[in-house]
Amino acid sequence: MPEGHTVHRIARQFARHFEGTPVAVSSPQGRFAGDAARIDGRVIVDARAVGKQMFLEFDNGLWLRVHLGIYGAWDFAGRIDVPDARPAAGRRGSGPEYPDSLASIGAPRRLRMAEQERLGDAIEGFPPEPVGQVRVRLLTADAVADLRGPTACEVLTGEEVQEVVDRLGPDPLVDSPKRGEQRFLEKAGRKNQPIALVLMDQNVVSGIGNIYRAEMLFRARLDPFVPARELPEDALRALWRDWTKLLKIGVETGYMLTMETR
């Protein structure tokens, strides 16, 4: 499952290439056609991530909420620049060298043979034809983003978005340092579950997945089976501060770098 750094990078892509311009919204698969019509032709005015969830705000007050889950991914094509992101195996890169190429951000794509063959060919024309089961397509004059396989994809009002965000734990890139740390201490300090489970609970802290939680516990030399509420406050503070550090590195580089010497 894509972890928090990936979703923040996706939000940056939308902010960079899709904000401030009308967006044609469609559902090639057909499952999202009703909601797509509610935001079709509107302008994206904000793109933000909270943990593993992304929210796109449109100029009519509606929001597109996406949770990639285990299998979800965004495919970008057109005039798209993906800084510091190495192209996945079997896919073309993007940027000046590949002006019409397709790059995927999210979960590893599991493609049928026909899809592999199509992605292996040069992309001709713009926009490219949708490949596979595309839940929603966002299209501007020179960029396109296709979403496939998400756990959640829905149009919400501002109030509904706030309700979702209020249920999530703190995110170091959203909450202020002091407020985020305090929220984490209060939530984690009450939990009797093993700390390894608590770090994965998105209602306690946002964005941590299996890889980050394992690496963080190893870095802290903590037993993953110790109940969170039995840990000293200093240990919980150190976990939050380490997550803050690792998340920022992941967003900036596109890699889950957890070894200080690398």
Looking at residue 108, the DSSP 8-state letter turns out to be P
- pTM of this prediction? 0.84
CA distance 111 to 89: 12
What tokens does 261 get?
A: 């010497």
pLDDT of residue 254 exceeding 50 = yes
Model confidence pLDDT, tens digit, residues 50-61: 999 999 999 999
Lowest mean pLDDT of 91-95, 131-135, 237-241, name the range: 91-95
Model confidence pLDDT, tens digit, residues 90-127: 333 343 333 333 455 655 444 433 344 444 444 567 88
Tell me which H or E stretch contains 138. Answer: strand 134-139
Q: Please, which residues bridge with residue 25 across strands?
A: 138
